[in-house]
């Protein structure tokens, strides 16, 4: 049985994830209404930029001052940003806020994954990461669907304030968590001085490289799928995200358990194959059914890959440096999402047919991830 700490962090992560994800389907239209349609690629890219840049700091703070303060800081950022979106009504004001909003995912997920690894037995780590991933992904599913529903029936202002409400509820849960770091330090500004050795956990790089190659596809999905969804005939831009996340939920616990028993790399390989099939299908079958089937396969792929990569990262980490290893893995995730969002947004130029090219490109990168794992395993056994 899992502890109350584990259950609380899962619910906190669900609400936190819903808070920022509920904005994603409507932000391209909102930015266009401000006169910034050409900056669509920056919506995700700026968010992931600060998330990535803040990871070395969140990783170090997670390993020094504790998991709980880092969790709380990220949720507070989401809470504050929801109130500022309706106030900053210029294109540059909006983009500046997206930059600041990224600190939320730079901090909370690093501490949350590390917290999970503290409160579960290591032999059940893959399974636990799968369950925690289900919670986070449920937020990814209900968030966009709720966001589109709120915007259809109310206004952007109500949508932004709803995002803040979700963050506030997450904050309430996280404040009630007990610290799991055995020997925590008091915060001091010197802890924010980062050396080269603090930025990257070299030992976690194999998992991070594969993570980067897998998550580029999510950058394209987050940036371009809302427009693709409308192009194939759906009114609610959150449809893809619902199907993608529900299918991801179905497979996560099973995939995590299998990775505990048979090894991380075998499970990750299966997930990458599913991603390749999904991305190719979405691009090739440009119909409602094609989108739904592709979304389902994409969810299966990400549901298999993610908990195995998280557990692999902890496996590779050095004693007392789990936060640093998780931060490295998340830096690769943000780099993949951010670069893909930026490049695909720039390439798109509101030509729907170009979305297929971006999807095929991501399938090739997933294939490169498979090749890397094969080469890494060969080196490991020689």
Average pLDDT over residues 2-12: 90
Question: What pLDDT score was predicted for residue 268?
Answer: 94
Determine contact, residues 86/133, Cβ cutoff 8 Å: no
Determine contact, residues 106/191, Cβ cutoff 8 Å: no
- Alpha-carbon distance of 253 to 296, in angstroms, equals 17
Question: What pLDDT score was predicted for residue 4?
Answer: 87
Highest mean pLDDT among 40-54, 126-140, 156-170: 156-170
Q: Does residue 159 carry a pLDDT above 80?
A: yes
Q: Does residue 209 carry a pLDDT above 90?
A: yes
Question: What pLDDT score was predicted for residue 107?
Answer: 93
- Alpha-carbon distance of 374 to 368, in angstroms, equals 10
- Alpha-carbon distance of 48 to 54, in angstroms, equals 10
Determine contact, residues 54/102, Cβ cutoff 8 Å: yes
pLDDT, the chain, mean: 88
For the chain, the structural domain boundaries read 4-178+200-380
Q: What percent of the chain has pLDDT over 70?
A: 99
Given pLDDT bands bounded at 50, 70 and 90, which one contains residue 237? confident
Q: Does residue 186 carry a pLDDT above 70?
A: yes
Sign of the dihedral through C-alpha 96, 97, 100, 101: negative
Q: The whole model's pTM is what?
A: 0.80
Average pLDDT over residues 255-267: 86
Span 284-297, pLDDT tens digits: 888 889 889 999 99
Span 54-105, pLDDT tens digits: 888 988 899 889 999 999 999 999 999 999 999 988 999 999 999 999 999 8
Given pLDDT bands bounded at 50, 70 and 90, which one contains residue 234? confident
Span 12-45, pLDDT tens digits: 999 999 999 999 888 888 898 888 888 887 888 8
The two most distant CA atoms of the chain are separated, in Å, by 61
- Alpha-carbon distance of 194 to 313, in angstroms, equals 21
- Alpha-carbon distance of 146 to 159, in angstroms, equals 9
Work out the angle at residue 313's Cα, subtended by the Cα atoms of residues 309 and 319, and round it to the nearest 5 degrees.
Answer: 160
Question: What pLDDT score was predicted for residue 116?
Answer: 92
Question: What pLDDT score was predicted for residue 99?
Answer: 92
Span 329-368, pLDDT tens digits: 988 988 898 889 889 888 887 777 888 999 999 999 999 9
Q: Does residue 1 carry a pLDDT above 70?
A: no
Residues written for the chain: 382
Tell me the fold of 4-178+200-380: Growth Hormone; Chain: A; (1.20.1250)
Determine contact, residues 180/113, Cβ cutoff 8 Å: no
Reading the block at residue 373, the tokens are 């794992």
Give helix 91-119 / helix 67-84 axis angle, nearest 10°.
160
Question: What pLDDT score was predicted for residue 39?
Answer: 84
Reading the block at residue 138, the tokens are 């449920």
Question: What pLDDT score was predicted for residue 229?
Answer: 85
- Alpha-carbon distance of 315 to 295, in angstroms, equals 30
């Amino acid at each position: 049985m899992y502890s109350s700490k584990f259950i609380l962090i899962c619910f906190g992560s669900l609400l936190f994830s819903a808070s920022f994800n509920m904005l994603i389907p409507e932000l391209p239209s909102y930015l266009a209404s401000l006169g910034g349609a050409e900056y669509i690629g920056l919506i995700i890219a700026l968010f992931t930029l600060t998330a990535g840049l803040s990871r070395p700091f969140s990783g170090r703070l997670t390993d020094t001052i504790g998991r709980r303060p880092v969790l709380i800081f990220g949720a507070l950022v989401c809470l504050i940003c929801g109130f500022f979106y309706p106030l900053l009504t210029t294109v540059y004001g909006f983009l500046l806020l997206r930059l600041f909003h990224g600190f939320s995912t730079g901090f909370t997920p690093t501490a949350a994954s590390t917290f999970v690894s503290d409160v579960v037995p290591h032999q059940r780590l893959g399974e636990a990461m799968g369950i925690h991933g289900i919670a986070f992904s449920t937020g990814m599913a209900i968030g966009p669907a709720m966001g589109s529903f709120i915007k259809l029936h109310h206004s952007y202002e109500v949508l932004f304030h709803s995002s803040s409400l979700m963050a506030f509820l997450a904050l309430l849960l996280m404040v009630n968590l007990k610290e799991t770091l055995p020997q925590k330090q008091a915060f001091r500004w010197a802890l924010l001085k980062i050396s080269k050795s603090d930025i990257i956990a070299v030992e976690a790089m194999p998992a991070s490289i594969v993570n980067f190659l897998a998550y580029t596809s999510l950058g394209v999905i987050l940036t371009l799928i809302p427009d693709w969804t409308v192009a194939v005939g759906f009114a609610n831009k959150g449809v893809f995200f619902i199907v993608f996340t529900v299918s991801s939920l179905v497979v996560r616990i099973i995939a995590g358990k299998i990775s505990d028993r048979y090894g991380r790399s075998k499970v990750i390989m299966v997930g990458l194959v599913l991603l390749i099939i999904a991305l190719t299908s979405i691009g090739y079958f440009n119909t409602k059914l094609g989108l739904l089937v592709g979304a389902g396969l994409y969810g299966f792929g990400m549901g298999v890959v993610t908990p195995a990569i998280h557990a692999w990262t902890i496996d590779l980490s050095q004693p007392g440096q789990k936060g640093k290893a998780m931060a490295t893995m998340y830096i690769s995730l943000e780099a993949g999402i951010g670069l893909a969002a930026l490049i695909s947004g720039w390439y798109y130029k509101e030509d729907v047919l170009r979305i297929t090219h971006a999807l095929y490109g991501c399938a090739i990168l997933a294939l490169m991830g498979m090749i890397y794992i094969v080469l890494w395993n060969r080196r490991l056994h020689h």
